[in-house]
Structure 1
């Protein structure tokens, strides 16, 4: 961070807040209005805090690597606009006019990282290449998608809008890791828009064309940066759409017959999409995913042990998909409920450990109060709960088996957290409502019995 960060950031913050207050009425209602500015504020807080911690605690890291690359492309624009434009639209190819700039960029031929850099360059052109303001713009992009997610969840369960606001906006690790100049901010925002587009276009069937365009752009963004998020989200999202539409069939017999057909169609479409999206990708090809997970997990574990980091071990991966499935229970536990408090080795990890403990207590409390069978039955009958929990579990398995380091895991798991916590709140509300309804029926039956009984 530089002097211009201190001078320009307050000015741009004022502009951002002025715009936010100006558009708030258009994007809120009586339930959501009071959360718009606070939710945006915690995103801004997260973006600034992440930069400060990486600068003064970690002494560098990915966020500044992105910024250093952004500075090179930004310099190219000042030296020669045509060179800057060529870099901005390049795909790692060699060009004599841009070779001197490309040679200074380690990630020039890394499509995923360079996509984030390109987005950062567009932001840099609007703010004199100021790190903090670029981070605030990334926070705004992330906020837009998360607001779309929040609005969608409220349509599904408006009675718990306060709890849903907490699950989407106010969990510390999500607004910290998902707000700064990082891949995670863009992917988290894009995931929210994909969720919104599925609901608006395929379930509500409103503004179908616009929803398809929004969904495509958001999905393509995730595909370009972190395709595995899309691979984990697509199957449960399609299942969600089919379940919601099957429930709208009025004839019970037709609905019963249609449900397995919808399920089979969803599985086939999801499988085709997964294999097509990853075909030829050395890192995420479905046919090589077990092998890549083993390589990544072993590498992160060895580096973490060597540097005295927070490594974890859930079992030996054999490089096959079946090997990943065998470790699924351990992967789910480590992704959702660890690090435990005694495993935390720094302040950031302590924060994550407290959150994980909260998730564990919340989960156990729901299962204890309602019972395992009843809880699972409630989930199976609610399409949105199927989406939330299937996505969370599949994603937990994917990152839990391939990470082997708590520091990396804390950042990687933020896409599942809003869905998992929102799912818990919705599940709790459904169970509580069912209990209240049962008590009312028992009370009414008791009163009728007393009235009917002769004295």
Structure 2
């Protein structure tokens, strides 16, 4: 009975969040695609492989759910007690498992319905961003639909029982807020609550994402202040650059691994651990990488190319071939946009988005060279990458 009620509540929630009639076909089709991706992810890892992060999360959340039936007071104590410091990787899993256990209370411990709830969260974040683009930049609505609702690998990894639906939903929600903030000064209290919740989710689940996102939002806020107070472009550029450097130094305090004296060693150590635990033919390797800033700087171009376009079509096979085809599309769109870029001027929002993508695309391959894991992590910025790469083709062909 509880499972039937949870399904009805889920359907009612999706119906309540629906947009106006002119956008409903995109809303329902995007939601259906995201739900199918969540079910496909569960089938592939829980049923077909019987292993993976989603299986681990399910087992741990099930144990907590069963504890709630034996002793609800002990369950609440476990829910409110952290077993690991927040900067450790285990703390991220612990935080998500607790969230999943709450969903299990709602769904009667049902993995599949809980995955649909998480898929809805990820989708709603994406839809919030798409609706803000439609509101303020309607010429790019088609590009937004393709990028944030139907990009295959990104939608697959941001659905189902994983941390990623919460992460990607929060990222898109924050991006949508940034668009609205740039065009308006007045905001509803609900939007500030969502911003705080989004940053908190990123802080607990992916510390590097909250660092890069906070930096981007800080630069955007500073740029808007300068836009109102400074008229000369030269001064505005210098002050913006100074603000970006200050924000970059500030966010290094988010986590000890980002501290200025720890960053090269953190990147190197994580790279070595992941590379040694992975099969050689399923990894990117940077054999000359050392735990120094000079070595890190020398490897940044290789990391950026890998983050944007690898694995190439001949490097992997199996399910990862979908990602290869996407990377090929990104490469073609990149050269097309580069060839025509001199005809266009990019807005402040687009430039900040490019910076956000560049930082993540550069460092993630260096930190996580495993191709399978990298494909999952890239889902955080690939929708934004596709959207940026579609701007010039959209202007030329669909305006």
Tell me if TM exceeds 0.5. Answer: yes
Higher mean C-alpha displacement, 82-91 vs 284-293:
284-293
1:66: how far off? 0.7
Alpha-carbon distance in structure 2 between the residues aligned to 1:204 and 1:358? 35
Pairing partner for 1:190 from 170, 187, 196: 170
Match status 1:404 vs 2:369: yes
Change (3 A) 1:134 1:286: farther
Alpha-carbon distance in structure 1 between the residues aligned to 2:150 and 2:144? 10
1:53: how far off? 0.7
- Match for residue 92 of structure 1? 83
Match status 1:332 vs 2:299: no
Normalising to structure 2: TM-score of the pair? 0.90
1:202: how far off? 5.8
CA contact (8 A) 1:201 1:211 kept: no
**Of the two, which has the highest radius of gyration?**
1
Q: How does 1:117-266 map to 2 (within 5 A)?
A: 117-201=97-181, 203-207=183-187, 209-247=189-227, 252-253=231-232, 256-266=234-244
CA contact (8 A) 1:190 1:218 kept: yes
**Which stretches in structure 2 are left out of the alignment for 5+ residues?**
none
Match status 1:378 vs 2:345: yes
Match status 1:22 vs 2:16: yes
- Match for residue 327 of structure 2? 356
Match status 1:303 vs 2:274: no
Match status 1:323 vs 2:292: no
Match status 1:414 vs 2:391: no
- Match for residue 293 of structure 1? 267
Change (3 A) 1:166 1:332: same
Higher mean C-alpha displacement, 112-121 vs 28-37:
28-37
Alpha-carbon distance in structure 2 between the residues aligned to 1:177 and 1:194? 19
Alpha-carbon distance in structure 2 between the residues aligned to 1:32 and 1:387? 28
- SS in structure 2 of the partner of residue 32 of structure 1: helix
1:120: how far off? 0.3
CA contact (8 A) 2:133 2:179 kept: no
**Which stretches in structure 1 are left out of the alignment for 5+ residues?**
94-107, 437-455
CA contact (8 A) 2:227 2:236 kept: no
1:87: how far off? 0.8
- SS in structure 2 of the partner of residue 125 of structure 1: helix
Pairing partner for 2:50 from 59, 63, 66: 59
CA contact (8 A) 1:194 1:218 kept: yes
1:130: how far off? 0.7
Change (3 A) 1:190 1:287: farther
CA contact (8 A) 1:275 1:286 kept: yes
Alpha-carbon distance in structure 2 between the residues aligned to 1:212 and 1:325? 37
Q: Could you give the per-residue CA deviations for residues 76-128 of structure 1, whole angstroms, max 9, x where no partner exists?
A: 110011001011111117xxxxxxxxxxxxxx992111110111011100001
- SS in structure 1 of the partner of residue 178 of structure 2: helix
- Match for residue 441 of structure 1? none
